[in-house]
C-alpha cells in the first residue's frame, strides 16, 4: 500500500513539474494597464479545449454505436483486433512507466539529488509517456481510417448530442 501511494505521489509530482509550465504557457498574458472594472466579473477558468477532439473518435464511442453506425463485420473485426493489440502494448508500457517512476522516486528520496541521474530517469518516464500517447493516437488514426465519411459524420453528431440523464430503475432512487 505504501509503495502504491508513493508511486501515485511520484506520478503526480512529475505531472505537476511538467504540467504547470505548460498551463502557464497557454494562458494569455495579463496587461498591466487593464483595470479590474474593464475585465468585468471574474469568469470561472475554462477547461482546455481538445484541439483534436472534433476530428478523432474514441474507440468506445465507435464500438458502443457499432450498430447505429452500420459498421460492417470487416470493420468490427479490424477494430477489435487493433484495440486488443493496442491494449496489450499499453499494459506493457504502463508497467514500464510504473518502474521508471519508482526509480525516479528512489533517486529523489536522497537528501542530495544527483541532478544528471534524476534528469536521465525523468527522460525515461517522459519517453514512456510519449510512447503511450503515440500508441493511443496511432490507434485513433487506424480506426478513423476504417470509417466511411458517413460514419464519421454520425459520430460527430453523436458527440454533439447531449447525454440523457440516467433513469432510475424500478425501486431505485438517484
Domain CATH number, residue 111: 1.20.120
The 10s digit of each residue's pLDDT in 117-126 is 999 999 999 9
The 10s digit of each residue's pLDDT in 77-102 is 999 999 999 999 999 999 999 999 99
Give the domain extent around 118. 53-161
Identify whether 112 is part of a domain: yes
Identify whether 17 is part of a domain: no
Q: Which of 90, 79, 92, 94 is nearest to 141 (CA)?
A: 79
Confidence (pLDDT) at 32 = 46
Confidence (pLDDT) at 9 = 55
The 10s digit of each residue's pLDDT in 14-53 is 455 445 544 444 445 454 444 444 555 666 666 566 677 7
Average pLDDT over residues 51-56: 78
For the chain, the distance separating the N- and C-terminal CA atoms, rounded to the nearest angstrom, is: 33
Q: Distance (Å, rounded) from C-alpha 81 to C-alpha 130?
A: 23
Confidence (pLDDT) at 168 = 66
Identify whether 39 is part of a domain: no
Identify whether 72 is part of a domain: yes
Backbone φ and ψ for 7, nearest 5 degrees, come out as -65, -45
Distances (CA, A) of 54 to 6, 77, 160, 168: 36, 25, 10, 31
Confidence (pLDDT) at 116 = 97
Residue 160's pLDDT band, with cuts at 50, 70 and 90, is confident
**Residue, of 151 and 166, whose pLDDT is higher:** 151
Residue 163's pLDDT band, with cuts at 50, 70 and 90, is low
- Helix, strand or coil for residue 44? coil
Identify whether 23 is part of a domain: no
Predicted TM-score (pTM) of this structure: 0.63
Helices 73-108 and 2-26 sit at what angle, rounded to 10 degrees?
A: 100
Confidence (pLDDT) at 52 = 75
Report the domain count for the chain.
1
Identify whether 33 is part of a domain: no
CA angle 75, 140, 88 (to 5 degrees): 85
The 10s digit of each residue's pLDDT in 131-146 is 999 999 999 999 999 9
Identify whether 71 is part of a domain: yes
Identify whether 157 is part of a domain: yes
Amino acid at each position: 500500500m505504501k509503495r502504491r501511494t508513493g508511486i501515485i505521489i511520484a506520478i503526480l509530482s512529475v505531472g505537476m513539474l511538467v504540467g504547470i509550465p505548460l498551463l502557464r504557457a497557454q494562458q494569455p498574458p495579463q496587461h498591466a494597464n487593464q483595470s479590474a472594472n474593464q475585465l468585468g466579473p471574474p469568469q470561472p477558468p475554462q477547461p482546455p479545449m481538445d484541439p483534436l477532439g472534433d476530428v478523432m473518435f474514441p474507440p468506445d464511442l465507435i464500438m458502443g454505436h457499432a450498430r447505429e453506425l452500420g459498421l460492417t463485420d470487416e470493420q468490427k473485426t479490424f477494430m477489435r483486433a487493433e484495440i486488443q493489440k493496442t491494449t496489450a502494448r499499453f499494459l506493457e508500457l504502463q508497467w514500464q512507466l510504473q518502474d521508471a517512476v519508482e526509480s525516479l522516486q528512489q533517486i529523489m528520496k536522497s537528501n542530495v539529488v544527483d541532478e544528471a541521474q534524476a534528469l536521465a530517469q525523468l527522460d525515461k518516464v517522459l519517453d514512456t509517456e510519449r510512447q503511450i500517447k503515440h500508441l493511443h493516437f496511432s490507434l485513433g488514426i487506424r480506426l478513423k481510417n476504417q470509417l466511411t465519411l458517413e460514419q464519421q459524420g454520425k459520430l460527430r453528431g453523436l458527440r454533439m448530442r447531449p447525454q440523457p440523464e440516467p433513469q432510475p430503475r424500478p425501486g431505485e432512487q438517484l
